[in-house]
Structure 1
Amino acid sequence: MSSARTDRTVEVGDLSVAYSEAGEGRPVVLVHGLAEDRSTWAVQQRELTGWRTYAYDLRGLGDTSLGSADGTLDQLVADLVGFVETVTGPAVLVGFSLGGTLVLRAAADRPDLVTRAVVLGTSSVVGRTAAAFYGERIALMESGSAQERAAALHEDTAPAIVTATDRLDEVVAARVRAVGEGGGYVNAASAMASINQSPLTPRLGEIRCPVDVVGASDDSFCPRKAADIMVAALPDSTYHEVPAAGHLMNVDNPDGVTAVLRSILEGTDQT
């Protein structure tokens, strides 16, 4: 059985937020990563029919407006909290990469809204090399041509896919569309770079809801060490792994991602 997705728009703070909802049941909010939009969760929204899933576009990415972006993690977390308050009420929050970082902060800041947190390909700290990379990409997105932005996205996407390499051009094209003129990418990359100076790890001990940390078997961007750091700091956590997948695990093995999420959500329904 599959579920049709319905596209909607809602006003949250200074934003017009685009989102898709599907399924019936308890609410699950899906938060995408950098250089992506809500379409990255299309498989899960089609297959996870026993829950009401909501996938939204982050500030300035996909079809969501940029608003008065300030390049901070605080603002992106406030956007997520505002979406949950306005649209779903308390929910399971699922985030990939950047989205996972937002989910963890939201769980620490607003325990009343996050019943469970699931983070995929996520790290609670950004090293100096990664921070420098974000700085380079911010400069390119701000001053580069459309062709240069597309070339950079291709360069960054290729090593994140290890099995579905035949889909590279398709995935890059989707990321180019999601990024558009680059404002949302610059905003999100600035927020992620700030974690170099202000790691999220010290806040993890404040999270009281269960947290599921999901890694990919061949993720060179967020390797097992990143997951181990989070699991050690979280009061209530479980590690899961998606096989045959690089960082973009929902490209390499979407069925594996769906299976892990279904297992987690079914366990939640039984508690």
Structure 2
Amino acid sequence: MSKQSCLKNRKFREIKMLNCEEASAESFSGKVSVAKVGDIDIAYRCVGSGEPVVLVHGIAEDGTSWSGIADRLANEGFRSIAIDWRGHGRTTVGQPQGTVEQLADDLLQFLELISGAAVCVGFSLGGVIVLEAALKRPDLVRKGIIAGASSKVGRAAAKFFAERIAQLETDPEMFGETLGEDTKAQIAHNKAAADDVTQSRLKAVGNGAGYVNAAKAMIALSAAPMTDRLREMVAPIHIVQGANDVFCPTKAADMLREAMPQAGYAEIPQAGHLMAVDQPEMFAEAILAELEKQSKSENAK
């Protein structure tokens, strides 16, 4: 690569980081920014300064689900960037394809245009999105921290999502009640938070178009699991699992570890699927440990 090209790339990196710095606030509840990314307008929140960490939420959530985690990471010297992905929260749905590939492409375009290369933390379907993005562009996903995710969707889970799609499209009020029950089942320890979390999730779902798109992406993993492709992973990966997760149980993490034997692993005790609700402090500590390890590794090169 020529010296002129290097200077051009460095300048582009500086412009991208400036965009996020301008959007940063003193706390995660501050300013929401919007960026045109492909066919959608992605809403995102930035807090802190330092190396970027992009937080990718799960289905029926938005970036606000990372609030406590984001502030903790910012306090430790990282720039937390939480996106609302396609059709969730304040992000438009665009032309949804119902695939993990499209959702991963959305993330990669965000990394290219806004944050620059970053450690990406993905929860549930967000973890699957990060894995797909890391397979495609390990130069942009510096490290993937994957929490409560699975590379394969079984028949029971596929049926679960198909039923939720049908309910959302025919009886939204009943879907709200069902999401409330799902949320309670995904919390193992902090049961008192269930009602508030349900209301936040319903707000993130909005008119349901993004949820339907994401649920279709999950169902597609039943017919075409990504497990075998993970054997080709070159980006560093760390897996975080809730010890009491019944929605994405430990066997899902075991499958990821078998496909990626080089990946790290941490288990959060007394945590169900919604580990950021059950054990936010321990979840944040698990993320921070990997961020610090990645920084040391990169500085040593």
With the shorter chain as reference, the TM-score category is: over 0.9
State how far apart, in whole Å, the 2-side matches of 1:100 and 1:113 are: 15
Instruction: Indicate the residue corresponding to 2:275 in structure 1.
Output: 249
Tell me the alpha carbon deviations over residues 132-185 of structure 1, each in whole angstroms, 9 at most, x when there is no partner.
Answer: 11111111111213x212111112111100111111110100011000111100
1:222 is the counterpart of 2:245:
no
Q: Which amino acid aligns with 1:34?
A: I
Map of 1:41-80 to 2, 5 A cutoff?
A: 41-49=66-74, 50-80=77-107
Tell me the alpha carbon deviations over residues 172-221 of structure 1, each in whole angstroms, 9 at most, x when there is no partner.
Answer: 00011000111100000000110001001011111112100000111111
Partner of residue 137 from structure 1, selected from 164, 188, 204: 164
Instruction: Indicate the residue corresponding to 1:15 in structure 2.
Output: 40
Instruction: Indicate the residue corresponding to 1:175 in structure 2.
Output: 201
Q: Is the 2:69–2:276 Cα contact (8 Å) retained in structure 1? A: no
Instruction: Indicate the residue corresponding to 2:180 in structure 1.
Output: 154
Q: Which amino acid aligns with 2:286?
A: V
State how far apart, in whole Å, the 1-side matches of 2:243 and 2:59 are: 20
User: How far is the alpha carbon of 1:236 from its aligned partner?
Assistant: 2.2
1:220 is paired with a residue whose SS is coil
1:24 is the counterpart of 2:63:
no
Tell me the alpha carbon deviations over residues 12-53 of structure 1, each in whole angstroms, 9 at most, x when there is no partner.
Answer: 001111000111111111000010000011111111121111
The farther-off stretch of 201-210 and 184-193 is: 201-210
State how far apart, in whole Å, the 2-side matches of 1:192 and 1:89 are: 27
Q: Is the 1:208–1:236 Cα contact (8 Å) retained in structure 2? A: no
Q: Which amino acid aligns with 1:162?
A: A
Q: Is the 1:3–1:47 Cα contact (8 Å) retained in structure 2? A: no
1:67 is paired with a residue whose SS is coil
Unaligned residue ranges in structure 2 (runs of 5+): 1-24
Structure 1 vs Structure 2: percent identity of aligned residues?
44
Shift of the 79–96 alpha-carbon distance from structure 1 to 2, 3 Å rule, reads same
Aligned-pair Cα RMSD in Å:
1.2
State how far apart, in whole Å, the 1-side matches of 2:161 and 2:96 are: 17
Q: Is the 2:268–2:279 Cα contact (8 Å) retained in structure 1? A: yes
State how far apart, in whole Å, the 2-side matches of 1:236 and 1:108 are: 15
State how far apart, in whole Å, the 1-side matches of 2:130 and 2:141 are: 9
1:186 is the counterpart of 2:209:
no
Question: What is the TM-score with the length of structure 1 in the denominator?
Answer: 0.97
1:4 is the counterpart of 2:37:
no
User: How far is the alpha carbon of 1:235 from its aligned partner?
Assistant: 4.9
Q: Is the 1:28–1:91 Cα contact (8 Å) retained in structure 2? A: yes
Q: Is the 1:208–1:235 Cα contact (8 Å) retained in structure 2? A: no
Tell me the alpha carbon deviations over residues 215-253 of structure 1, each in whole angstroms, 9 at most, x when there is no partner.
Answer: 011111111111111111115201101111100000111
User: How far is the alpha carbon of 1:120 from its aligned partner?
Assistant: 0.2
Which structure carries more helix by proportion?
A: 2
State how far apart, in whole Å, the 1-side matches of 2:71 and 2:120 are: 17
Q: Is the 1:209–1:236 Cα contact (8 Å) retained in structure 2? A: no
Runs ≥4 residues deviating over 4 A: none
1:37 is the counterpart of 2:62:
yes
Count the aligned residue pairs. Answer: 269
Question: What is the TM-score with the length of structure 2 in the denominator?
Answer: 0.87
Partner of residue 196 from structure 1, selected from 219, 222, 227: 222
Unaligned residue ranges in structure 1 (runs of 5+): none
